[in-house]
Amino acid sequence: MPAPTLRRDEIRTLTLAALGGALEFYDFIIFVFFTATIGQLFFPPDTPDWLRQLQTFGLFAAGYLARPLGGILMAHYGDRDGRKRMFMLSVLLMALPTLAIGLLPTWASIGAAAPIALLLLRILQGAAVGGEVPGAWTFVAEHVPGRRIGFACGTLTAGLTAGILLGSLIATWVNTRFDADELAAWGWRVPFLVGGVFGLCAVFLRSMLEETPVFEELRRRRELVRGLPLKVVLAGHGRAVVLSMLLTWLLTAAIVVLILMTPTLIQKLYAIPAARALAANSVATFALTLGCIAFGLLADRIGAAKALGAGCVMLLATTLLLYYGLAQTPGRLHALYGATGFCVGVVGVIPVLLVQAFPPAVRYSGVSFAYNIAYAVFGGLTPLVVTMLMQDAPLAPAWYVAALCVLGLVLAFVPMRAKAATAT
């Protein structure tokens, strides 16, 4: 049976949601591209380079640590008061701090208050992302027919990855356009100011969206959770939480290792120039955006579980081919990395399984809790674990991802919901 065609209003909703997600993720990720400049401007001039870098990455990490709290709080009100309200709040909570970072005085102007203010703004950004990702998946999944959830979640996830690519491209342009003195004086502010304006535009776009039909039906039937939605999730949907966290572990392995860490790793392993590695990473990220949509369509056609299994097999093969192939044919970097990036698109299937794992009344809270806690733990530990493993096994990054692909293949055969659950 072919999947139903999306109506015009559903296409509009999906487009606006994906665009807003791209702009919000741009706002969150742009910080990492300017850590060196920010470290020089927001800490004392006599700070050792290693300490300045550590402090700056600590500010970046603070955004990730804030994700679970922000996600859980927004999900609570999303299940009680409506998806749309939280969907708008998350992008506003990202836009305003991003704009503020672009206007923030540096250490030279206000001393220690500068890094403290920057830390607080990063925490707000992290809280925004914690609510954005699960909220966006829930929002689009509840706006389309059941047999198009794969395409909806895949497209939304593609929008998020497009935000990463946009950040990379704008950072490259800024570093090319301005010399070192201009960059330190004011050029670094440009991408943050642009991001803040982008975010405010996204708030306007999301104000044009309608509340999800699923939530409206719950409200009409008076079936909304009256107590704490998270309490209901933990008491009655523990199986779904555990399986969702394991799937999120797979997602973090694919994104963190293959998209975020690999450009640096292949420079060290294969002596590939930084510029070439970063250019290949842009190719891989673009391929990832296409892959999310492709795997989402595959999920609609053959089922999310089967699409996950097939994607894990493909990702395992391309990951090993990338790391082993570069040792033999480094000239094929773009082709190998592009193919791997496309297969990382299997992460577009994971939100389909997550939103289907929980009943509508607590869906936002269930997805948000499982995803954000798992991402904070696994996403935070993955770089450390992979780096430690590489001391004894230089190709540990490939085998780490391969092991998680095997886990994903196993999970593809495990039902996400207990039989008693009634998630639709």
Same domain flag for 104 and 253: no
Same domain flag for 212 and 326: no
Determine the angle formed by the axes of helices 350-357 and 238-252, rounding to 10 degrees.
Answer: 170
- Indicate whether 336 belongs to any domain: yes
Q: How far is CA 38 from the centre of its chain?
A: 23
The model's confidence at residue 420, banded by pLDDT at 50, 70 and 90, is very low
Same domain flag for 245 and 112: no
Phi, psi of 111 (to 5 degrees): 65, -135
Query: What domain range includes position 39?
Result: 8-224
Same domain flag for 180 and 310: no
Determine the Cα–Cα distance for residues 36 and 40; give it in Å rounded to an integer. Answer: 7
What pTM value is reported for the model?
A: 0.87
Q: Residue 58 pLDDT > 80, yes or no?
A: no
Mean pLDDT of the chain: 88
Determine the Cα–Cα distance for residues 295 and 300; give it in Å rounded to an integer. Answer: 9
Q: Residue 204 pLDDT > 50, yes or no?
A: yes
Same domain flag for 91 and 176: yes
Same domain flag for 209 and 257: no
Nearest in space to 190 (alpha carbons), one of 178, 181, 203: 178
Same domain flag for 24 and 169: yes
Determine the Cα–Cα distance for residues 205 and 22; give it in Å rounded to an integer. Answer: 13
What CATH number does residue 163 fall under?
Answer: 1.20.1250.20
Nearest in space to 318 (alpha carbons), one of 287, 295, 341: 341
- Indicate whether 263 belongs to any domain: yes
Domain boundary among 191, 224, 257: 224
If one compares 182 and 297, the residue with the highest pLDDT of the two is: 297
Q: Residue 266 is encoded by which pair of tokens?
A: 């292949």
**pLDDT per position as a tens digit, 317-375:** 999 999 999 988 888 999 999 999 999 999 999 999 999 999 999 999 999 999 999 98
- Indicate whether 343 belongs to any domain: yes
Domain boundary among 196, 224, 252: 224
Q: What amino acid is encoded at 226 in this protein? A: R
List helix spans (H) across 33-148. 35-42, 49-65, 67-81, 83-103, 107-110, 113-141
- Indicate whether 2 belongs to any domain: no
- Indicate whether 307 belongs to any domain: yes
Same domain flag for 290 and 277: yes
Same domain flag for 168 and 304: no
Same domain flag for 187 and 321: no
Same domain flag for 209 and 353: no
**pLDDT per position as a tens digit, 37-54:** 888 888 888 777 767 666
**pLDDT per position as a tens digit, 2-22:** 556 777 778 888 888 888 788
- Indicate whether 120 belongs to any domain: yes
Same domain flag for 270 and 405: yes
- Indicate whether 422 belongs to any domain: no
Look at the chain and report how many structural domains it folds into. Answer: 2
Nearest in space to 240 (alpha carbons), one of 344, 366, 117, 343: 366
Determine the Cα–Cα distance for residues 142 and 152; give it in Å rounded to an integer. Answer: 9
Domain boundary among 163, 193, 224: 224
